[in-house]
């Protein structure tokens, strides 16, 4: 059993771990994306020399073996099924409780007309946004049933973001301009809310915020299923600096994956090489650049 390989692959998947316990028990751990939460998990099987890792927030999983020929024993398969069934039931219960808390908190919040974060991003408040104290509150709707709030995202004035504890992110989204759109058949899907608003201001089309890159494919599949005639365009983040450091561009990678899943397209912000070196990555960065260039009067849909 190649323990070092298991550890390297688990870390490459996104788990923040320094060691792995190979004991047929599920272990919850932080992830690179959410280091303050324990959305990551793994379970190791000593007899077959295999580890299954995953991320509750994204739904992603990876089966790691020391050899391609390795398979779980029948006993290990039964253990895995039992553990996963128990965890799935517990996670669903936590998500239902979080959704109930989300609806209660959202009900206490007031409609947003202004927030420092939105001002800094040079975008306006859109329908559905609320404020609770000094915090901007973004409702996270079920992508299949947009009347159901699954969780909340909180954004502080300094741009700090956090999700409601144990709330569901996978297949959750925040639509912008979708119900008002009648003739335009194009729907954009972006990662963050400010980015999604920026794309809406740039194009005049409906945009759906998926909240993170790993949720793009799940949301895109649901949109395609519910609106098969729609042209889906993924407004990708261009994580050039991450690519330079780690050899992978998560924004482009997940956007391309989502587009392929639904026969859609990918659009990247047209940054120059120097702008990428300066750290500009997403469509909100491009929107802010245009605002400065046009003196703050860039027309919607131009």
Q: How confident is the model at residue 131 (pLDDT cuts 50, 70, 90)?
A: very high
What φ, ψ does residue 282 adopt, rounded to 5°? -120, 180
pLDDT score at 193: 98
Residues of the chain with CATH 3.40.1360.10: 97-293
**For residues 151 and 169, is the Cβ–Cβ distance under 8 A?**
yes
Of 90 and 244, the one with more pLDDT: 90
**For residues 84 and 42, is the Cβ–Cβ distance under 8 A?**
no
pLDDT score at 113: 95
**For residues 177 and 201, is the Cβ–Cβ distance under 8 A?**
no
Mean confidence (pLDDT) of the chain: 90
- State mean pLDDT over 154-165: 95
Tokens 């301009």 found at:
177
Q: 7-63 pLDDT, tens per residue?
A: 999 998 889 999 999 888 899 999 988 888 888 999 988 877 888 898 887 777 888
Q: Measuring CA to CA, which residue among 100, 86, 101, 99 is closest to residue 28?
A: 86
Pairwise CA distance, residues 271 & 294, whole Å? 16
pTM equals 0.81
Q: How confident is the model at residue 263 (pLDDT cuts 50, 70, 90)?
A: very high
Q: 266-296 pLDDT, tens per residue?
A: 999 999 989 988 889 999 999 999 998 887 6
**For residues 128 and 101, is the Cβ–Cβ distance under 8 A?**
no
Q: 181-202 pLDDT, tens per residue?
A: 666 689 999 999 999 999 999 9
Domain at 97-293: CATH architecture: 3-Layer(aba) Sandwich (3.40)
pLDDT score at 1: 56
Q: Hey, is 137 helix, strand or coil?
A: strand
Burial label for 170, CB within 10 Å (0-12, 13-18, 19+), is buried
Pairwise CA distance, residues 208 & 4, whole Å? 40
CA triplet 177, 168, 56: central angle to 5 degrees?
A: 130
pLDDT score at 154: 98
Q: Measuring CA to CA, which residue among 107, 102, 185, 183 is closest to residue 150?
A: 102
């Amino acid at each position: 059993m190649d323990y070092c390989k298991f550890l390297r692959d688990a870390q490459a998947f996104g788990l923040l771990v320094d060691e792995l316990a190979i004991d047929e028990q599920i272990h919850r751990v932080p992830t690179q994306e959410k280091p303050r939460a324990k959305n990551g998990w793994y379970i190791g099987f000593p007899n077959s020399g295999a580890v299954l890792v995953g991320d509750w927030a994204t739904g992603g999983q990876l089966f790691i073996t020391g050899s391609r020929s390795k398979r779980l024993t029948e006993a290990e398969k039964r253990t895995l099924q039992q553990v996963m069934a128990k965890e799935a039931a517990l996670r669903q219960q936590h998500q239902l409780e979080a959704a109930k808390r989300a609806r209660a908190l959202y009900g206490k919040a007031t409609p947003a007309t202004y927030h420092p974060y939105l001002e800094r991003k040079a975008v306006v408040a859109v329908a559905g946004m609320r404020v609770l104290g000094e915090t901007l509150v973004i409702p996270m709707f079920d992508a299949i049933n947009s009347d159901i709030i699954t969780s909340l995202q909180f954004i502080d004035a300094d741009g700090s973001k956090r999700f409601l504890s144990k709330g569901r992110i996978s297949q959750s989204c925040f639509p912008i301009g979708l119900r008002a759109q009648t003739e335009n058949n194009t729907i954009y899907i972006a990662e963050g809310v400010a980015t999604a608003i920026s794309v809406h201001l740039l194009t005049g089309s409906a945009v759906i915020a998926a909240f993170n890159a790993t949720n793009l494919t799940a949301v895109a599949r649901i949109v395609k299923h519910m609106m098969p005639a729609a042209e889906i365009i993924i407004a990708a983040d261009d994580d050039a600096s991450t690519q330079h450091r780690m050899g992978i561009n998560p924004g482009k990678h997940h956007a391309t994956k989502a587009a392929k899943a639904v026969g859609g397209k990918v659009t990247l912000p047209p940054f120059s090489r120097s702008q990428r070196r300066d750290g500009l990555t997403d469509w909100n960065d491009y929107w802010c650049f245009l605002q400065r260039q046009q003196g703050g009067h860039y027309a919607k849909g131009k």
